[in-house]
Chain A
Amino acid sequence: MRAKKNDSRLGAFLRGAKKEYSNWLFMLPFIVGFSVFVAYPIIMSFVYSFTDFNAIRIKNYGFFNYENIFDFSAYGMGNDIWKSFGLTALYAVISIPLNMFLSFTLAMALRKAIPGIRGIRLLFYLPVLIPGIVMGQIWTDMLGHPEGLINQWLGAIGLPANTFFSSEKTQFATLIAISQWGIGGGMIVWLAALENVPKTLYEAAEMDGITFFGKLFKITLPMCTPIIFYNLIGSIIGALQVFDTYAYLGTGQNNGLYFISIRIYTTAFGGRVHDYGLACALAWVLFAVIAVLTGIMFKTSSWVFYGDSKQ
């Protein structure tokens, strides 16, 4: 009797384990990939960040890379490095809200179905489909100074030439401006979100005589908050890793577009000296910044409205 009971327990356990092991079988590719291509490199990267690894040998261990990053004396690289961090942060702080606002406005305008709306939406999306480095070549050609097409046209209508990418003062604003040609990407996400807002909500509110802005702030935006949140996290992580500008602008005039991911790349692979240790330390500081920001985002995410669905 006792034996039988035990047996059935064991059987249940085995059945359970068998049921569960198939779950892990599905996740096996991810687990292997994660261990080899993420977990191992991340540990090694952390270790390297405390060394002077230069692709050939490691001589010293210590905190010197981190000390160098925060060394703001005349010979230290702290100022240069934090200029890169600052530029990257500035890029994120300006381009993300601007992009979100513009793409939302565009989506609102393109929301209502009028004849040909699908085609119009596609046309707005078209610039997004130009590969970043190709788009960069088009812009640098078009905005050349002093004899690019745009400057020639400015001259023709009597306006002074703009330096665009060839001056430290204007290059940043120019980059922000040209990145707005990508609002079609955000627009698509917004359109999907807007389509998900139940029509009944608007109908009910319209009975109560709601205004346009009332609808916008009391229905549309709250219902879109999950997508805003998802997008915001994605955009922050993406913007803090901006790199492709390196292909057509290099590090900018007077290193004014020397974003942190570009600096990490050039520190590790760019020059004749491969400073793997410093590159890893820089990457870890960037990681810390991203982790803190994402943590804050999640902690303060009470504004995200998930409706009455679970989780």
Chain B
Amino acid sequence: MSAKKMSSMRRNYTVECVVKYIVFALLLVVMLFPYAFMLNKSFMNIVDINNSGKILFFPKHFTFANYRIFIDYIGYFVNSFIVVVINGLLVPLTSCLVAFPLARYRFKGDNFMFTLILATSMIPSTVLQVPQYLLFVKLKLYDTLASQFIGAFFGGSGMQIFLIIQFMRAIPKELDEAATIDGANKFMIFWRIMMPLCMNVFIYIGVGVAIAKWNDFQGPLIYLKTDAKRTMAVAFYFHFGASGDISLMTHVKMAMAVCMTIFPAILFFICQKQMIGGVKLGAVKE
């Protein structure tokens, strides 16, 4: 390849990059606009909010005072945190437990279990809603925080288990065969060999569950009655929603909105390697 051709290719590449940056920048202005709106408004004071009827995009009187609302929300934050941590750790763990024998061994009834697990992912939660509610009332779980994490002790949803099964199937069989020869039993194989190799899918599912639980609205709406027991999402809804008593304090609302957004963002950024392209369906690169 001649030097001239090389330099023209390099120039083409540069042009391509610049064009892409411009297009991406324009798109991102649109995509991140709600974000900017929320952030800006959270730094406004009441004068900026009223501003004689004219809505401001940028704050004129910059203030952090709105963020003091978070102090009132520490109780709800703790509730959310408990729910998120228990679900985020236990759902992937119990899902891995179920997935392990189905992915690695053949035994009587394995196909039945596999089908059953896949079928559960099709059941709309509304079908279970009323009897589950009555069951939770009977089990004294209604209006307790436990109602939001009890399910995590018993395996995740069908789709999550399916994903783990696909992931585990791709791990080379020789690994556990070698371990069996060395006298390891299934539990040792699961704990010492499979779990470390499944860390990526574990994190992928754990973070997904954690964020979903942080955002969950329907579950806490049905099960948590006492205000002090509510999670952040429903507390936010009851206080700042259309019928909430402070719904018109939009600057405070947006400060709280920013607080609500920080947790999923941090979690995602820490685990971004696993969350973006770290998990490939049924493929573990050796």
* Cβ contact within 8 Å between A247 and B128: no
Confirm or deny: A216 has a beta carbon within 8 angstroms of a beta carbon on chain B: no
Confirm or deny: A58 has a beta carbon within 8 angstroms of a beta carbon on chain B: no
Q: How far is the CA of A122 from the CA of B273 in the complex (A)?
A: 11
Confirm or deny: B100 has a beta carbon within 8 angstroms of a beta carbon on chain A: yes
* Cβ contact within 8 Å between A286 and B129: no
Confirm or deny: A301 has a beta carbon within 8 angstroms of a beta carbon on chain B: no
Q: What are 11 residue pairs bridging A and B, where the CB atoms are less than 8 Å apart in the complex? A: A29-B155, A109-B24, A114-B16, A130-B260, A142-B37, A195-B280, A230-B281, A237-B121, A265-B221, A276-B130, A286-B127
* Cβ contact within 8 Å between B159 and A38: no
Minimum Cβ distance to chain B for residue A118 (Å) = 8
Confirm or deny: B20 has a beta carbon within 8 angstroms of a beta carbon on chain A: yes
For B99-112 the 0/1 string (1 means CB < 8 A from A) is: 01110010110100
Q: How far is the CA of A38 from the CA of B20 in the complex (A)?
A: 49
Given A134-B261, A230-B281, A237-B121, CB of A32 within 8 Å of CB of B31: no
Q: How far is the CA of A303 from the CA of B28 in the complex (A)?
A: 34
* Cβ contact within 8 Å between A141 and B250: yes
Q: Which residue of B lies closest to A44 (CB)?
A: B131
Q: How far is the CA of A133 from the CA of B260 in the complex (A)?
A: 10
- Which A residues between 2 and 32 are near B, CB-CB below 8 angstroms? 19-20, 22-24, 26-27, 29-30, 32
Which of B57, B272, B276, B280 has the most C-beta atoms of chain A within 10 angstroms of its own C-beta?
B276
Q: How far is the CA of A121 from the CA of B97 in the complex (A)?
A: 33
Apart from the given pairs A33-B155, A130-B34, 9 other A-B contacts in the complex at a CB distance below 8 Å: A22-B187, A26-B190, A33-B153, A124-B27, A134-B261, A138-B38, A243-B217, A246-B217, A280-B130
- Which A residues between 115 and 162 are near B, CB-CB below 8 angstroms? 115, 118, 120-127, 129-135, 137-139, 141-142, 147-149, 152
Chain A residues at the B interface, C-beta cutoff of 8 Å:
19-20, 22-24, 26-27, 29-30, 32-34, 36-38, 40-42, 44-45, 48, 109-110, 114-115, 118, 120-127, 129-135, 137-139, 141-142, 147-149, 152, 181, 184, 188, 191-193, 195-196, 226-227, 230, 234, 237, 240-241, 243-244, 246-248, 250, 260-261, 264-265, 268-269, 276, 279-280, 282-284, 286-287, 290-291, 294, 309
* Cβ contact within 8 Å between B155 and A290: no
- Which B residues between 91 and 140 are near A, CB-CB below 8 angstroms? 94, 97-98, 100-102, 105, 107-108, 110, 113, 116-117, 120-135
* Cβ contact within 8 Å between B122 and A27: no
* Cβ contact within 8 Å between A126 and B35: yes
Q: How far is the CA of A35 from the CA of B17 in the complex (A)?
A: 56
Q: How far is the CA of A205 from the CA of B283 in the complex (A)?
A: 24
Q: Which residue of A lies closest to B37 (CB)?
A: A142
Chain A residues with Cβ below 8 Å from B5 are: none
Chain B residues with Cβ below 8 Å from A114 are: 16-17, 20-21
Given A23-B107, A41-B132, CB of A137 within 8 Å of CB of B240: yes
Which listed residue, B97, B272, B275, touches A29 by the CB 8 Å rule?
A: B97
Given A44-B131, A132-B217, A243-B218, CB of A192 within 8 Å of CB of B123: no
Chain A residues with Cβ below 8 Å from B117 are: 30
Minimum Cβ distance to chain B for residue A115 (Å) = 7
Chain B residues with Cβ below 8 Å from A33 are: 94, 151, 153-155
Given A134-B257, A191-B277, A195-B277, CB of A37 within 8 Å of CB of B128: yes
Given A139-B34, A290-B122, CB of A122 within 8 Å of CB of B154: no
Q: How far is the CA of A269 from the CA of B221 in the complex (A)?
A: 10
* Cβ contact within 8 Å between A261 and B128: no
Q: How far is the CA of A309 from the CA of B280 in the complex (A)?
A: 15
Chain A residues with Cβ below 8 Å from B230 are: none
Chain A residues with Cβ below 8 Å from B283 are: 196
Q: How far is the CA of A226 from the CA of B260 in the complex (A)?
A: 34
* Cβ contact within 8 Å between B126 and A126: no
Q: How far is the CA of A132 from the CA of B211 in the complex (A)?
A: 11
* Cβ contact within 8 Å between A29 and B261: no
Contact stretch, chosen from B60-68, B171-179, B262-270: B262-270
* Cβ contact within 8 Å between A27 and B113: yes
Minimum Cβ distance to chain B for residue A239 (Å) = 11
Chain A residues with Cβ below 8 Å from B102 are: 27
* Cβ contact within 8 Å between A22 and B222: no
Nearest 8 CB-CB pairings of A with B: A33-B154, A30-B155, A41-B131, A44-B131, A23-B101, A131-B215, A30-B98, A283-B126
* Cβ contact within 8 Å between A287 and B261: no
Q: How far is the CA of A265 from the CA of B126 in the complex (A)?
A: 8
Chain A residues with Cβ below 8 Å from B23 are: 109
Which of A26, A109, A276 has the most C-beta atoms of chain B within 10 angstroms of its own C-beta?
A26
Chain B residues with Cβ below 8 Å from A226 are: 281
Chain B residues with Cβ below 8 Å from A130 are: 34-35, 38, 257, 260-261, 264
Given A37-B154, A290-B122, CB of A147 within 8 Å of CB of B94: no
Minimum Cβ distance to chain A for residue B25 (Å) = 9
Which of B53, B54, B132 has the most C-beta atoms of chain A within 10 angstroms of its own C-beta?
B132
* Cβ contact within 8 Å between A241 and B280: no
* Cβ contact within 8 Å between A240 and B120: no
Q: How far is the CA of A143 from the CA of B126 in the complex (A)?
A: 31
Confirm or deny: B186 has a beta carbon within 8 angstroms of a beta carbon on chain A: yes
Minimum Cβ distance to chain A for residue B66 (Å) = 14
- Which B residues between 231 and 280 are near A, CB-CB below 8 angstroms? 233, 236-237, 240-242, 250, 253-254, 257, 260-261, 264-265, 268-269, 272, 275-277, 279-280
Chain A residues with Cβ below 8 Å from B250 are: 141
